[in-house]
Amino acid sequence: MRILLLGDIVGRAGREAVAERMPAIRERLALDFVVANGENAAGGFGITERILSELTRSGVDVVTTGNHVWDQKETAAFIDRAPRLLRPVNFPKDTPGRGHALYEAPRGRKVLVANLMGRLFMDPLDDPFAAGEAILAETGLGRGADAVLFDFHAEATSEKMAFGHAFDGRVSAVVGTHTHVPTADAMLLEKGTAYLTDAGMCGDYDSVIGMQKTLPIQRFVRKMPTERLTAAEGPATVCGLFVETDDATGLAKRCAPLRVGGKLAESWP
Amino acid sequence: MRILLLGDIVGRAGREAVAERMPAIRERLALDFVVANGENAAGGFGITERILSELTRSGVDVVTTGNHVWDQKETAAFIDRAPRLLRPVNFPKDTPGRGHALYEAPRGRKVLVANLMGRLFMDPLDDPFAAGEAILAETGLGRGADAVLFDFHAEATSEKMAFGHAFDGRVSAVVGTHTHVPTADAMLLEKGTAYLTDAGMCGDYDSVIGMQKTLPIQRFVRKMPTERLTAAEGPATVCGLFVETDDATGLAKRCAPLRVGGKLAESWP
Amino acid sequence: MRILLLGDIVGRAGREAVAERMPAIRERLALDFVVANGENAAGGFGITERILSELTRSGVDVVTTGNHVWDQKETAAFIDRAPRLLRPVNFPKDTPGRGHALYEAPRGRKVLVANLMGRLFMDPLDDPFAAGEAILAETGLGRGADAVLFDFHAEATSEKMAFGHAFDGRVSAVVGTHTHVPTADAMLLEKGTAYLTDAGMCGDYDSVIGMQKTLPIQRFVRKMPTERLTAAEGPATVCGLFVETDDATGLAKRCAPLRVGGKLAESWP
Amino acid sequence: MRILLLGDIVGRAGREAVAERMPAIRERLALDFVVANGENAAGGFGITERILSELTRSGVDVVTTGNHVWDQKETAAFIDRAPRLLRPVNFPKDTPGRGHALYEAPRGRKVLVANLMGRLFMDPLDDPFAAGEAILAETGLGRGADAVLFDFHAEATSEKMAFGHAFDGRVSAVVGTHTHVPTADAMLLEKGTAYLTDAGMCGDYDSVIGMQKTLPIQRFVRKMPTERLTAAEGPATVCGLFVETDDATGLAKRCAPLRVGGKLAESWP
Ligand SMILES: [Fe+2]
Ligand SMILES: [Fe+2]
Ligand SMILES: [Fe+2]
Ligand SMILES: [Fe+2]
Ligand SMILES: [Fe+2]
Ligand SMILES: [Fe+2]
Ligand SMILES: [Fe+2]
Ligand SMILES: [Fe+2]
């Protein structure tokens, strides 16, 4: 299966870049399935129902999130009727929405997508390693799923690399999100899992992690509160990881970064 | 000037890769000046005097460090007689060693190298933004320095991007270190500073940030202490940023990532 | 029932103070049950099997712990045969030892003791609020237990007060440990739970949280590693909370701090 | 000199308790000088100019603050014309307001008050230990000041105890604020400085650190955003440390906690 996982879509710039470029990307890469992290799609803060359907109409099959999932008040209300929207699975029991689900891909294939959140330097949730194990205890490669994709929304590179290796050989891909900067370490791990520490944002890189840069710099320099941050509006780079899986095993045969548009050097898988 | 900045060299694997490849890299890129972060050169923990001279003999002109600078007991004792070794400038006053210095490059040119440490998700030091300003108040591009290189050793992408923009147009390059994963956002900022969020480590990427992976995974999964971590020993990738500066202004004309050897996809500037 | 909960016993000074004073304290307060936190009993770092039996011989019925539980290598090996030693219940599944148990008190009464760890500013474990609920789903006041005691080992006052109120009316006492400084807010919460943000350490207060003060001060001032810290050896203050429960309901009728010996002002319930 | 230092005043409940009780407290303790931390005086968030003058009219001579100092927009605008209002001294250079000042006490005596902020588990500012040294390099006991009072606004007990010992014998008192829970470790340090890890809040203790308890509990349990927190409105306890200094040396002869009103056990020095 030919799969694309996109990093955090930030604001209008990010959304428009995804909407405009997705048709060409889907075609050029002959994609079967697209996951994108949408936790910053609404002006940098969360996601609305309208934006969710905008994204799914753009060709995104599943939208994951992270620590910003509840930034928009409406999200907790609509998430239960939004099967394509995931929130981190390791939130407390009784949290609205779901953290993983099985989706249909072309030709009857099934894709398990799970959204998990790291804990190092983040608000502590329950153990994401145990959460990953619990998901795989129910469904896995060759056991109901033709591909298994983990969006690991986390800050620390140590936790992310450890997470990748912990599930190596049991999932198709572990792709990090949250830092809003793409890493250049796309690789196949030893036992066949595609791995990238961070997919990077789909957003304007002439910014501070997607937000207009004046106020964030002021916060670091002056240590005083500022007005609310606003998303940067320059041309966005669409960033993600392309993964080709072996339909027999569900493991990855190849992975390579996608970066197109905006400030960053272009890269096609 | 043609400059290379390498990320954290981790353990013997990292050192050997740098030593073996540096002659060819220096030649192919026609380098004038090389900076490398050596805070993990001694088995993953700090740097010794012997390793420092190994690195400088390999063709590294200046060795920067970070939070691991004092991991080896001997470092505080020898650092004052090691002009090519820097430690973060924003340590407390009276800290042994120095955080920035002016170095000679070929044809009489002067390179100011400064090592600064971020504070978000790290042990708090004094303000690195103010420290950068204080350095530039004394020496700068056109004022004693033909190139100014900031190694910003920091965890959070937000602090790193803010730092880059804060000094944009006033230094030749801001290159992040510390996360041990190269980012794919090499770019020229608006006013001419070369920027990369993280140079990535010079080390074995089949690992958890350069260390053999079993114990780090166990720490996350079991939450119990383990034996001391040891550096991974597989083939290392040499990772860094190439920057070409304009000798007239000292600003960057071009920058591009270097990645060679080991698990990561090769990239030549 | 007349119950005493003691805070973190630090080093030899703390152990000796507890051993010497416990007989008089037990008698004067006519105690039925004593819990003490022993995570720093072995020179400030963890607890050994020998020290555990020293403590239980001193008149401590149950020894709780916290983030330092595994500081001594032997602990993971002996904890499974030490029914009176608890470690935080919200460690990962398969962690050696147990986090809560039902103990016998005089006249056939049963005391449920649970050890839980907070997450704010600490290494993240699984949700302690959910862990507390899970314990109470099995056993509770009037449902197998005549008293229920929660040692909440946590850093932040906000998490501790929230934890107290979350279990108010359902447990006999929530007593905080970990900060090594006694708080002066002993109170009965609205629905009958005795509460104290932190019991304080049983240790020498002419120190930095129980350790000889020179090196900890140096660490803050110089930001360089030091030799290993050693426990302060001056006269220790025994610190804790006395709770008198109503045998009919298991809730608290009265609570008041105990502080005796050493540098702190004496306080008898 | 007879001095009282009060902890963080939280909301209307805290302000009213201070206003009502201060006359009786001033008289009973024959106070010469009163310092109170006002960072949460305005509904839990910051301080306004009107509230500041309310506090000074109540008999508070100097109002210190902390991390919440800028919660009210107007504060940065009026602080420069408010000589009795301090903000942490170790904010960046060019921060509005001042972090320490010399004040007049009865009979021509001078009191140096300094407000410093810790860094462990807090937003990192510049080194508070170095900031304390810099203040004392200019003015000190017997060198322009008859008493020197340090409000150390910090989270971690280790940093607070280390800070106390670091300035022992050179200042009259080091009193911690910020945790909103009074500690029971009032003591004279070895060389004559009065010390208390935390003064505790002046606020309603039937709360989560002064705020109505439902929403804070929900935040811990559900890990979702809530409405803005509001200050608890029940009867407040006025909490602080009484210090009596020796006019000859400026050091402390005696110190003891004050706790009066509300839920906590009353304590008069
Ligand atoms: Fe994000
Ligand atoms: Fe995020
Ligand atoms: Fe490093
Ligand atoms: Fe580092
Ligand atoms: Fe402890
Ligand atoms: Fe602890
Ligand atoms: Fe406060
Ligand atoms: Fe505060």
> How far is residue D47's CA from residue D37's CA, in Å, rounded to a whole number?
10
Strand partners, D6: D36, D240
pLDDT given for residue B153 in this prediction: 98
A207 touches B at CB < 8 Å: yes
A93 touches D at CB < 8 Å: no
Q: Which residues of C touch B76 (CB under 8 A)?
A: 224
The helices-and-strands tally (H runs, E runs) of chain B is: 6, 13
Low-confidence ranges of chain D (pLDDT < 70): none
Name the neighbours of C, counting chains with at least 3 Cβ pairs within 8 A: A, B, D
Q: Which of A74, A224, A227, A228 to mutate to test the interface with D (most CBs of D within 10 A)?
A: A224
Residue B263 is given by DSSP the state T
ipTM of the complex: 0.97
Task: Among the bound ligands, name the one nearest to the CA of residue B117.
Answer: 4
The predicted-structure confidence for D168-212, as pLDDT tens digits, reads as follows 999 999 999 999 999 999 999 999 999 999 999 999 999 999 999
* Ligand 5 centroid, distance to C234 Cα (angstroms): 18
pLDDT given for residue B82 in this prediction: 98
pLDDT given for residue B215 in this prediction: 98
pLDDT given for residue B6 in this prediction: 98
Q: What is the 3-class SS of C44-58, one letter each residue?
A: CCCCCHHHHHHHHHH
Task: Among the bound ligands, name the one nearest to the CA of residue B87.
Answer: 4
pLDDT given for residue D132 in this prediction: 98
Pair of tokens at residue A233: 């509006």
By the 8 A CB rule, do B66 and B45 touch? no
Q: Which residues of D touch C265 (CB under 8 A)?
A: 184, 186-187, 256
Name the neighbours of D, counting chains with at least 3 Cβ pairs within 8 A: A, B, C
pLDDT given for residue A9 in this prediction: 98
pLDDT given for residue D259 in this prediction: 98
pLDDT given for residue D5 in this prediction: 98
pLDDT given for residue D75 in this prediction: 98
What angle is formed at CA B196 by the lines to CA B192 and CA B200, rounded to 5 degrees?
Answer: 155
pLDDT given for residue D203 in this prediction: 98
> How far is residue B225's CA from residue A129's CA, in Å, rounded to a whole number?
17
The predicted-structure confidence for C118-162, as pLDDT tens digits, reads as follows 999 999 999 999 999 999 999 999 999 999 999 999 999 999 999
C134 touches D at CB < 8 Å: no
pTM for the whole thing?
0.98
* Ligand 7 centroid, distance to D180 Cα (angstroms): 6
Low-confidence ranges of chain A (pLDDT < 70): none
Q: Which residues of B touch C91 (CB under 8 A)?
A: 223
> How far is residue D79's CA from residue D60's CA, in Å, rounded to a whole number?
17
A8 in a labelled binding site: yes
In this complex, the residue of A125, A222, A224 whose CB is nearest that of residue D223 is A125
By the 8 A CB rule, do B260 and B266 touch? yes
Q: Residues of D annotated in the binding site, as ranges?
A: 8, 39-40, 67, 153, 178, 180
B178 in a labelled binding site: yes
C100 in a labelled binding site: no
> How far is residue D38's CA from residue D170's CA, in Å, rounded to a whole number?
25
Residue C141 belongs to what H/E stretch?
strand C140-141
pLDDT given for residue D59 in this prediction: 96
Cβ count near A75 (within 10 Å) = 25
Pair of tokens at residue D178: 């910020």
B77 burial class (0-12, 13-18, 19+ CB within 10 angstroms)? exposed
Q: Which of D9, D28, D59, D23 is nearest to D269 (CA)?
A: D28
pLDDT given for residue A56 in this prediction: 97
Domains of chain A: 2-260 (3.60.21.10)
The predicted-structure confidence for C168-194, as pLDDT tens digits, reads as follows 999 999 999 999 999 999 999 999 999
Give the pLDDT band of residue C258 (cuts 50, 70, 90): very high
Please give the single-letter amino acid code of residue A198: D
**Proportion of chain C above pLDDT 70, given as a percent:** 100
pLDDT given for residue A118 in this prediction: 98
Pair of tokens at residue A45: 């803060």
CA distance A67 to chain C (A): 16
A261 touches B at CB < 8 Å: no
Q: Which of C45, C224, C227, C228 to mutate to test the interface with B (most CBs of B within 10 A)?
A: C224
Q: Which residues of B touch D93 (CB under 8 A)?
A: 130
Q: Which residues of B touch A153 (CB under 8 A)?
A: none
Name the neighbours of B, counting chains with at least 3 Cβ pairs within 8 A: A, C, D
CA distance A107 to chain D (A): 38
Question: In 3-state terms, what secondary structure has residue B132?
Answer: helix
Residue of chain C nearest A123, judged by CA positions = C120
Work out how many CB contacts closer than 8 A connect B with D.
Answer: 20
pLDDT given for residue C77 in this prediction: 97
With a CB cutoff of 8 Å and minimum separation 6, the contacts of B83 are: B98, B101
* Ligand 8 centroid, distance to D117 Cα (angstroms): 9
Question: In 3-state terms, what secondary structure has residue C122?
Answer: coil
Q: What is the mean pLDDT of chain B?
A: 98
In this complex, the residue of A92, A120, A127 whose CB is nearest that of residue C92 is A127
pLDDT given for residue B8 in this prediction: 98
Task: Report CB contact under 8 Å: B95, C70.
Answer: no
pLDDT given for residue A156 in this prediction: 98
B266 touches D at CB < 8 Å: no
> How far is residue D7's CA from residue C86's CA, in Å, rounded to a whole number?
35
Q: Which residues of A touch B182 (CB under 8 A)?
A: 183-185
Place of tokens 């107007």: D74
Question: In 3-state terms, what secondary structure has residue B75?
Answer: helix
CB proximity under 8 Å: D 65-84 to A: 70-71, 76
By the 8 A CB rule, do D236 and D260 touch? no
Give the pLDDT band of residue C63 (cuts 50, 70, 90): very high
